[in-house]
Structure 1
Amino acid sequence: MFRLIPPFLLAPADSEGASGDGLPPDDSQEVNEDETSPAKKPVQPSSDEFLSEEHPGSHARPTTREGTGLPSAAELEQTLQRLMRRVSMLVQAEKCVFLLHDRERDELVARPPAVGFSREQLRTLRLSRQEGVAARAFSYGEPVVVDSTASLSGFDQAWARRIDVRNLIAYPLVLERRDDTERVADRLTVGVFLVLNKRGRSPFSPEDLRLLSVMARQVTAVIADAQVYLQLTEEKEQLQATLLSLGSGVLMVESTGHISLLNPAARAILNLPDDEGDGLHFEDCIKNEGIVQLLRDTTQNGRETGTEIEVLLPGNNEPRIFQAQTAFVRGEKAGVPAILGVVVIFNDITEIRNVERMKTAFVSTVSHELRTPLTSIKGFISTLLQDTDNYFDQETRTEFYTIIDNECDRLRRLIDDLLNVSRIESGRALQMNWSYFDPLAAIEKVLHAQSSYTDKHQLVMDYHGEPINLLGDADKFDQILTNLLSNAIKYSPTGGEVRVIVKVDQHDISIGVRDQGMGIAPDKLGKVFEKFERVDNRDTRQAGGTGIGLFLVQHLVERHEGTIDVKSELGTGSTFTVHLPLRPKEAVDEMESGIREK
């Protein structure tokens, strides 16, 4: 951190004639051009009076912002204004201004307050850091005195002519960082102080330069404080904006129990209106007993803790689950480490808990789905093994073998689905084996296979047209149709028609699977393709299913560069429609690449 250059004193601080507040009697008067004439020139206080005054950036700081040790913004501005007027009066200059280094544009930019400048002149005064007298003072850290601007380069003459400059001093504004032994460890030039146009058209004297060296240090000190103040203000505003925009709730309680901070998310969770909470004791305004008890436990037992609460937020039909975690706010009081208060962070874990519940249900469901075909396989195999007397004829045995074969296929499909979901979850793309095949034949095959699982449904394909040649992955196309038809049968437990509607245009094929089942509620339609999601009612629980079928279907469709949508009416049935391109771009590129390699 940079430390101020302490101003060297030209005379004792109690020099005779200094006013009580360090201001000369006529400090507030503007110095006019004609005041320099012998008849009208006012009596000026000695330079020592000006130089002896303390300022907020120096040693004494009688009034500071509480908790920061820094003067307020208003104090800093007033101090700079007074210093600029003093400089103007001490060296009898018509104009004075300081320029700070703009690192982004690498320019020296004029900053208020200034003396003798209009707002427009101040706004447009930007000097290069690469050339000119100001750049020289800034780069070398040494003052530059110009007795006549007529001797300046074209660059300097341009801006000097614009603001009517005759002569000037460019004095560097330097901060010094000192080490523990008070030796100068580093210097940083932050800008340049310009003093322009000596009154009476005289040149600036060595005495002017000596006085300016002290005043420049004081100006630098105030600017340093202003920069720290602005930095603290910006950091505070950024922190406040961050807290206000957080989706998590933040509640801060002082050691006395009074609320000192409450962001909008916390207000919504605690159901507190905008005009309630700040400054009140938490027990007087928080109605959620779980949070009140959490704060009591933390403050009374002196340990950080957490809990979970259910809250019905405005506009929600179902409660949300929040994890409330406390943490101590640590700091110092009178230089001694202390606990200043407690902060409570509210994190919405509703989805996490929902996923945990769905995973638990999924494990139970998968266990059931695996056990059912295994039980069937085990039963028929045991029956056949025990038939040592050939009680069953060949037709019955063939029927048993067919059931065993179907149940094995059912197990294989379930295991394939689980493996594919695992690949998707791990971020691995499903491997596609592209080939041309007849989708109508594939649909008829799946319809025939699924018809063996039900005697309540009529499975029908609706298509009138020419044969189709589809470029895709035949096995994954089979998985898509199998899952959709299996769902249609499963979720229409009373039977009815399951119709597969095929439509083809020049570039795409659409396959709709329509059932006459129980349908899906409107609020559940947007979730049917989510993993582990199942429509939750008595009929669907009886129907079974893992909740991964439609999740997998959506990914398989997307790997074919297609889309899937659903329309449903509760109590009437659902229609799932798959839209696939006849020639997916990835498949075409891969096959053409394979041909070129051959």
Structure 2
Amino acid sequence: MRAANLTQVDKVLLMLAQRSEGRLVAIDPCGEFSRSDLRTIQAPLWQGVSGEVFRTGRPQIVRDASDDTREDVAMLHSLGARNLLTVPIIYRYRDSDGDVVKETTVGVLHALNKRQGEFDAHDQQILLILGGQASQLIAHTELYPIAHEFERTISDTIQSMSIGMLAISAEGMLFEANREMQRLGIRREDIGKHYQEVFKKGTSFLAQLVEQVFRYKESRGTEIPIETTNEEGKGEPRIYRIQIDPILNHASQRNNGFAGAVVILQDLTAVREEEQMQNSFVSVISHDLRTPLTAIQGFVDTMLMAINDGMPFDEDTTKEFLTIINHNSHRMLRLVNDILVLARLSKGMSLELSLRPYDFKASIDMVVESQRSFTPQFQFEVEVPEDLPEVVADQERIEQVVSNLLSNATKYSPQGGTVSVKVVRNGDEITVSVIDQGIGIPKDALNKMFGRLFRVESEKHKGIKGTGLGLYLCKTLIELHNGTIGVKSEYGHGSTFYFTIPIQGPQASS
């Protein structure tokens, strides 16, 4: 009665938000409405004077209820309202110092039928104060804090989801959207708007899917490439799975229980890229295995035919053929070893290191000589300190890393170029650098070089075969030694791949 007396009105009506149902429901604080009337007094959170005040937080005055076509005003007019003043009920959270840290609109307060004159700014101020007091009473009732905390938890959960989620009411109004939906350009200020207004150019296909769900009350889904907006505000192509499901409330008779639709947006770009890389990987692996096998089979068949015909090749020719066979068998062995390591990692299996001290200089020299025999058209330079101590590491794995880096250096360098290997001691660590005079790496690809199955796509790299596996394995093996690996490059001017490992083994660095 206090609000009615202070504002000189006939009736006061309180409407609280039920966000989960997307509506405002009536509560009669003064007992001036019948229960049957109260059940009919409700409004969507985004429509009518009630929804507009709730959404914007700004009071509104309706001077002639009979001339207002908004649904909730017409409903109040049918219950005797001639004019009304509506203000938001805002609950303010305060810290221990009493400072407001957050505001939440929990409902609206209607004052109906000004007894003398018209509603003015003074009435607004009084009703806003009373609304603030009402918010404190509401917030301190036994059930409201529990319900509000539960609602906030649900809201925080929705906002934190890695998939996009958007909820649409039975009237077609957006009433919930999480941050991930911003990739499609949907903002918080779009809440309360009709989906046909929001889904315009670029996302009009969503409107068509929603219309089908509304018409048939059945789920709809599709996978589609979309030009979205990233965190820097730049457009980028992504592939999304769009799933739209009806929201059904079987306890409600309204719209036969149809309460709207929920749009789920799942980013499948990484999945599809992985599938594409896997397919490319299988194709390249098949080619890379078939090529040395074909060479081995060809030379073995040729030598056997010569022997069977009683005309074996001379010693120099036989040595040349065996060298080619040896080169291709080593090439196959390296590839098979890489595949076996990848298979273990893909299954989540750990790689065990066989750690022991060994002559690092002799090992580097041996790997370089092996590569020299495979690619004699290149010049190799090696710089290793003579006083380098023994290194505690898995010799086979470190040699696998150096071999991969040397193979890459020759693969992406011009015939006759120079490949340098430098070993430097830095205190308790050693750094190995493999330097080439090749085609280099584009700047935007540098931070992706050690990704699984990554291949540089540039004009200079076209036609150069590779699995995109070697550098990923190098990174894995070096990190198992508690080491680091990296690359420096200028596109068109060669590259330097380097790694650092502790001299006394992984345990020493940890």
**Shared fold (TM-score greater than 0.5)?**
yes
CA deviations 1:361-400 (Å, max 9, x no partner) are 1111111111111011111011111112325212211221
Taking the aligned partners of 1:313 and 1:566, their CA distance within structure 2 comes to 30
Cα contact 2:167–2:177 (8 A) shared by 1:
yes
After TM superposition, the structure 1 = structure 2 runs for residues 510-529 of structure 1, keeping only pairs within 5 Å, are 510-529=431-450
Residue correspondences, number:
386
> Does 1:280 find its partner at 2:280?
no
Change (3 A) 1:466 1:239: same
Q: Displacement of 1:495 after TM fit?
A: 4.5
Cα contact 1:325–1:346 (8 A) shared by 2:
yes
CA deviations 1:386-428 (Å, max 9, x no partner) are 1123252122112212221221121111111111111122222
After TM superposition, the structure 1 = structure 2 runs for residues 152-171 of structure 1, keeping only pairs within 5 Å, are none
Q: Which of 482, 507, 521 is the aligned partner of 2:428?
A: 507
Change (3 A) 1:268 1:467: closer
Q: Which of 156, 164, 167 is the aligned partner of 1:241?
A: 156
Question: What is aligned with 1:292?
Answer: 207
> Does 1:562 find its partner at 2:483?
yes
Cα contact 1:562–1:579 (8 A) shared by 2:
yes
Taking the aligned partners of 1:339 and 1:565, their CA distance within structure 2 comes to 57
Question: What is aligned with 1:320?
Answer: 238
Cα contact 2:327–2:374 (8 A) shared by 1:
no
Q: What SS does the corresponding residue of 1:531 show, helix, strand or coil?
A: coil
Change (3 A) 1:268 1:476: closer
Q: Which of 303, 306, 310 is the aligned partner of 2:226?
A: 310
Q: Which of 229, 248, 270 is the aligned partner of 2:144?
A: 229
Q: What SS does the corresponding residue of 1:452 show, helix, strand or coil?
A: helix
Change (3 A) 1:551 1:285: closer
Question: What is aligned with 1:586?
Answer: 507
Q: What SS does the corresponding residue of 2:236 show, helix, strand or coil?
A: coil
Q: Which of 406, 425, 442 is the aligned partner of 2:346?
A: 425
Change (3 A) 1:284 1:567: closer
Taking the aligned partners of 2:179 and 2:480, their CA distance within structure 1 comes to 42
The AA in structure 1 aligned to 2:321 is F
Q: Displacement of 1:431 after TM fit?
A: 1.8
Question: What is aligned with 1:351?
Answer: 270
CA deviations 1:330-377 (Å, max 9, x no partner) are 114337851211111111221111111111111111111111110111
Q: What SS does the corresponding residue of 2:321 show, helix, strand or coil?
A: helix
Cα contact 2:480–2:506 (8 A) shared by 1:
no
Q: What SS does the corresponding residue of 1:504 show, helix, strand or coil?
A: strand
After TM superposition, the structure 1 = structure 2 runs for residues 456-471 of structure 1, keeping only pairs within 5 Å, are 456-471=377-392
Q: Which of 444, 449, 456 is the aligned partner of 2:365?
A: 444
Change (3 A) 1:500 1:252: same
Change (3 A) 1:582 1:225: closer
Change (3 A) 1:323 1:285: closer
Structure 2: unaligned runs, 5 residues or longer = 2-28, 45-136
The AA in structure 1 aligned to 2:435 is R
Q: Displacement of 1:484 after TM fit?
A: 0.7
Question: What is aligned with 2:325?
Answer: 404
Question: What is aligned with 2:287?
Answer: 368
Q: What SS does the corresponding residue of 1:512 show, helix, strand or coil?
A: strand
CA deviations 1:525-544 (Å, max 9, x no partner) are 11111100011124434221
CA deviations 1:7-37 (Å, max 9, x no partner) are xxxxxxxxxxxxxx8xxxxxxxxxxxxxxxx
Sequence identity percentage: 33
> Does 1:260 find its partner at 2:158?
no
Q: What SS does the corresponding residue of 1:389 show, helix, strand or coil?
A: coil
Taking the aligned partners of 1:320 and 1:255, their CA distance within structure 2 comes to 29
Cα contact 1:564–1:579 (8 A) shared by 2:
yes
CA RMSD across the alignment = 3.3
The AA in structure 1 aligned to 2:450 is F
Taking the aligned partners of 2:276 and 2:138, their CA distance within structure 1 comes to 60
Taking the aligned partners of 1:523 and 1:362, their CA distance within structure 2 comes to 22
Q: What SS does the corresponding residue of 2:257 show, helix, strand or coil?
A: strand
> Does 1:338 find its partner at 2:254?
no
Q: Displacement of 1:464 after TM fit?
A: 3.9
Taking the aligned partners of 1:585 and 1:524, their CA distance within structure 2 comes to 29
The AA in structure 2 aligned to 1:330 is L
Q: What SS does the corresponding residue of 1:340 show, helix, strand or coil?
A: strand
Taking the aligned partners of 1:448 and 1:265, their CA distance within structure 2 comes to 54
Taking the aligned partners of 1:535 and 1:411, their CA distance within structure 2 comes to 23
Q: Displacement of 1:511 after TM fit?
A: 0.5
TM-score (norm 1): 0.59
Question: Bigger CA drift: 293-302 or 520-529?
Answer: 293-302
Taking the aligned partners of 2:178 and 2:216, their CA distance within structure 1 comes to 26
Taking the aligned partners of 1:223 and 1:543, their CA distance within structure 2 comes to 71
Change (3 A) 1:237 1:66: farther
> Does 1:251 find its partner at 2:166?
yes
After TM superposition, the structure 1 = structure 2 runs for residues 30-45 of structure 1, keeping only pairs within 5 Å, are none
Change (3 A) 1:399 1:338: same
CA deviations 1:30-78 (Å, max 9, x no partner) are xxxxxxxxxxxxxxxxxxxxxxxx999xx9797589599xxxxxxxxxx
After TM superposition, the structure 1 = structure 2 runs for residues 492-503 of structure 1, keeping only pairs within 5 Å, are 492-503=413-424
Change (3 A) 1:525 1:458: same
Change (3 A) 1:304 1:397: same
CA deviations 1:197-255 (Å, max 9, x no partner) are xxxxxxxxxxxxxxxxxxxxxxxxx9999323332222222223333343432222223
Question: Bigger CA drift: 455-464 or 528-537?
Answer: 455-464
Cα contact 2:437–2:493 (8 A) shared by 1:
yes
Q: What SS does the corresponding residue of 1:352 show, helix, strand or coil?
A: helix
Structure 1: unaligned runs, 5 residues or longer = 1-20, 22-53, 69-221, 590-598
